A = this chain, B = another copy of it.
Amino acid sequence: MARIVIAGDFGGTNLRAALVTETGEILVRHEVSTTPDASPDGALEGIGDLLMKVRDYGSELPVAASLAVAGLIDGENGRVLASPNIPAFRNLGLTLPLSERLGIPVLIANDASAAALGEFRFGAGQGTRHLLHATLGTGIGGGIVIDGRLYKGTQGLAGELGHIVLDTDGPPCGCGSRGCLEAMAGGIALGRRAQRLVESGGAPILAEIASGRSATAGDLAEAARRGEVAAIAEIREGGHIIGIGLGSIINVLNPDVVTLSGGLLGMGDFLLDPLRAGLASLAFGPAANTPVRISTLGADAGLLGAAAVALAK
């Protein structure tokens, strides 16, 4: 009999949960808004309610549930150490109380780690063995699959790709260091570059798009699509930096494939061409040809990642 699992995707604005089959079919899904000011107990109860609703959809009991959560996750002990989007999730043990309520094992994983396993099982990484996944969004994260299994590292912290340093004198990063990949080419960093471009006066299209507010990475993409040369150059520079960062990690990990997801991919080839070129210029020997593939999972990547973690149990 095919196994089914509960997948939870806890993003910044929504909590989503679904019942997912072994082949990645989503049988039912529910979604609620996050309540940023919820107490830990309140957050836990809301999550439990959501998961119970999904659990009770079918006649068959799911074999496990898995929650993909942004932030520092101690998967071994089922704890969220810190989550940027959900302040109540600070040093909060999630899996034990949820497992008691649901009556099935509940796992928790960093959302980018789960996404890596989701690509491996259901998406752009199918048929590979060692996979490096990078999430290119507001921040930059990632996950690693080795020998077909999610590699979590000693404290479950593996895959923090956004915090490799590419310029020891670079811009300050939210993590307290300088010149991290995320601080140089994540969505927030690109937004800052866009704003500087507006202030320089050299990007009239961008200035018009962002008029009356600070420019964002999305504005930069839009200006590039409208042909603004300076915006294109900024995106290309960002893509180059991400490529050098991924190439660095390839030199350490030598994966079969690199898969990419996240909002920055909306910048298209403006970002991807220099990303691929930077990666190939740095990666060693035959690793220069490591394929770079775009996620095929779309909006369901988070849920399918969580499902892949539950199915791997």
Among A101-109, A203-211, A216-224, A252-260, the stretch that binds chain B is A252-260
Which residues of B lie under 8 Å from residue A142 when comparing CB positions?
252
Asked if B154 contacts A254 (CB within 8 A), the reply is yes
Whether A158 is near chain B, meaning CB under 8 Å from some CB there, is yes
Cα A167 to Cα B157 in complex, Å, equals 25
Which residues of B lie under 8 Å from residue A245 when comparing CB positions?
165
Cα A277 to Cα B251 in complex, Å, equals 24
Known contacts A81-B285, A165-B244, A168-B166: A254-B152 contact under CB 8 Å: yes
Asked if A166 contacts B166 (CB within 8 A), the reply is yes
Which residues of B lie under 8 Å from residue A254 when comparing CB positions?
152-158, 160
Whether A164 is near chain B, meaning CB under 8 Å from some CB there, is yes
Complex interface residues of chain A between 151 and 179 (CB less than 8 A to chain B)? 151-161, 163-169, 175-177
Which residues of B lie under 8 Å from residue A81 when comparing CB positions?
285
Q: Which residue of B lies closest to A157 (CB)?
A: B254
Asked if B252 contacts A158 (CB within 8 A), the reply is yes
Asked if A284 contacts B160 (CB within 8 A), the reply is yes
Which residues of B lie under 8 Å from residue A129 when comparing CB positions?
154
Cα A72 to Cα B251 in complex, Å, equals 12
Cα A248 to Cα B159 in complex, Å, equals 10
Whether A61 is near chain B, meaning CB under 8 Å from some CB there, is no
Whether A241 is near chain B, meaning CB under 8 Å from some CB there, is yes
Cα A286 to Cα B157 in complex, Å, equals 9
Whether A247 is near chain B, meaning CB under 8 Å from some CB there, is yes
Asked if B165 contacts A166 (CB within 8 A), the reply is yes
Which residues of B lie under 8 Å from residue A284 when comparing CB positions?
72, 157, 160, 163, 175
Asked if A160 contacts B251 (CB within 8 A), the reply is yes
How many chain A residues touch B (CB < 8 A): the figure is 49
Which residues of B lie under 8 Å from residue A249 when comparing CB positions?
164, 252
Whether A281 is near chain B, meaning CB under 8 Å from some CB there, is yes
Known contacts A129-B154, A130-B154, A241-B168: A177-B282 contact under CB 8 Å: yes
Which residues of B lie under 8 Å from residue A290 when comparing CB positions?
154
Cα A151 to Cα B290 in complex, Å, equals 17
Q: A157-B287, A160-B251 are in contact. List 17 more A-B contacts (CB 8 A).
A: A72-B284, A81-B285, A152-B254, A154-B290, A155-B285, A159-B252, A160-B252, A160-B284, A163-B282, A165-B248, A165-B282, A166-B166, A166-B167, A168-B244, A175-B282, A248-B248, A249-B252
A interface list, Cβ under 8 A from B? 72, 81-82, 129-130, 142, 144, 146, 151-161, 163-169, 175-177, 240-241, 244-245, 247-249, 251-256, 281-282, 284-287, 290
8 smallest A-B Cβ distances: which pairs? A153-B254, A164-B248, A160-B251, A157-B254, A158-B254, A163-B251, A154-B256, A155-B286
Can you sample 12 A-B contacts with CB below 8 Å? A142-B252, A144-B252, A153-B254, A157-B254, A157-B284, A157-B285, A158-B252, A165-B244, A165-B245, A168-B241, A176-B281, A177-B281
